[in-house]
Amino acid sequence: MGTVLKGCYIVTSEKTVRSDLRIDGEKIESIGLSVEKDGDEIIDLKGSYILPGGIDAHTHFDLELPNIKTSDDFKSGTKSAIAGGTTTIIDFVNCHRGEKLSDALETYKEKTKGKCYSDYGFHMTLCEWNKEVESEMEEMVKQGITSFKMYMAYKDTLQVNEEEIEQALKKSKELGALISFHCENGDEIIKNINDLISKGKSAVKYHEASRSSEVEYEAVNTLIKIARKINYPVFIVHLSSKMSLDAVIKARREGVKIFVETCPHYLLLNKDFYELKGDDGLEGSKYVMSPPLRSREDNNALWEGIKLGEIDTIATDHCSFNYKDKRENAKIDFSKIPNGIPSVQHRMELIFSYGVKDKIISLNEMVKLTSTNPAKIFGLYPKKGEIKVGSDADLLIIEDGYKDTISFENSIQEVDYTPYEGFESNGKIKRVFLRGKELVKDGEFIGKEPTGQYISRNKWSYERR
């Protein structure tokens, strides 16, 4: 017995068609009219849109830092993802210098075991370069971890230098893997922090000054230089500024292959939020993440980049620290505030409400940015990120013509605030299916035990237009 979704508009990255869809087991079995068989369950969707389930390729669940741990673990994080229409997440295995990649991976296998409501995969962090890391990279690719991450910021813990990036990128080319980069010049950041604090500038708003657009731009240019030399694609995570995007566009015209991700907060929030005072003058700490929020001009330039096809994916960088802890640390100075904000639950409805409904992008483009492109770039396609016969029945039914407000009260993320408090939502996440199983019904999460599976990923296969 299968399930037939009737009377819906099937939306892919390429087109929208009015059709029915039959799910058999975990897969999409057929698409067309009159697809039902005897005994099938029929669900009449009355003209709703069906999208491929969202893929959030940038989350940090259960992230342990020296003094603090994220409030969302894999259980609450993936549950929130599903409730928001995201059926697959890719999280970053965190590791320390001197630690074997395989040991770090084991830690993450433990963290995720039996806990994930969505399907999931891992990117592996490379925080140093040596012979052992090099040979372990090969092992990771064999285990379906086909993407890596390097940080150009966070001196003394994660930051790598140009030589290390060059070596890793050479290896990546040999393996057909992909490395994503956090682009901020960590040396500059330290200098700026010391300089600002010594002048008594310790308030929340100086977070942005310590990590200005120039700090990102410089790292982006360093990365472009290396990518050009090695002649192999790189992926830039959470691009935040016009300046950096312009540098990427220019390099692309010259033949350098760069894939770019941005996040809802660089499109919808701006640095004025750091001025928010709240009860104790510290409300701005809610919005501390890296890179920081920029100007409205940057917001607009990123939307423009999206329209022009210069931005490939939108992910959340969900990294939830409670406001109470952010605020507590903000009392010392801005540099002590844990970096990161939550949003895994709200990405799809935000992009629908502020991208599609505001007519900046089409619904097909939304699918491309939030699902199909990440699937291709991170080796999940066509199992994920697509609605076609044989693909996983990971589906999101979104209801248009609806008005609600995003708030902490109606979120299920395990964190004491949402940075999108009061934002209007025009797209109800009505139903969500993960591999054929309905986990959200009439807007309510109805999952019982976690059934998410680890996805061993293929190598990237994606050509920019």
Nearer of residues 218 and 317 to Zn ion, judged by Cβ = 317
Nearer of residues 63 and 393 to Zn ion, judged by Cβ = 63
3-state secondary structure at position 101 = helix
Nearer of residues 213 and 290 to Zn ion, judged by Cβ = 290
R_g of the chain, CA atoms, integer Å: 21
User: Which residue's Cβ has the minimum distance to Zn ion?
Assistant: 317
For residue 427, the minimal CB distance to Zn ion (Å) is 25
3-state secondary structure at position 104 = helix
Nearer of residues 283 and 317 to Zn ion, judged by Cβ = 317
C-alpha pair distances (Å), 197 with each of 22, 67, 194, 332, 334: 61, 21, 5, 10, 9
Nearer of residues 317 and 333 to Zn ion, judged by Cβ = 317
Q: Considering only CA atoms, which of 424, 298, 434, 305 is closest in space to residue 365? A: 305
Q: Which two tokens stand for residue 87?
A: 């059926």
For residue 95, the minimal CB distance to Zn ion (Å) is 14
Find out whether 44 and 21 touch, Cβ atoms under 8 Å. Answer: no
Query: 434: number of CA atoms within 13 Å, CB side?
Result: 28
Binding residues for Zn ion, per CB under 5 A? 317
For residue 289, the minimal CB distance to Zn ion (Å) is 8
For residue 195, the minimal CB distance to Zn ion (Å) is 26
Calculate the dihedral angle through the C-alpha atoms of 239, 89, 180, 72, rounding to the nearest 10 degrees: 70
Q: How far apart are CA 70 and CA 84, in angstroms?
A: 19
For residue 429, the minimal CB distance to Zn ion (Å) is 24
Nearer of residues 2 and 291 to Zn ion, judged by Cβ = 291
**Helix then strand then coil, % of the chain, to nearest 5:** 35, 20, 45
Q: Considering only CA atoms, which of 425, 464, 460, 435 is closest in space to residue 26? A: 435
For residue 30, the minimal CB distance to Zn ion (Å) is 39
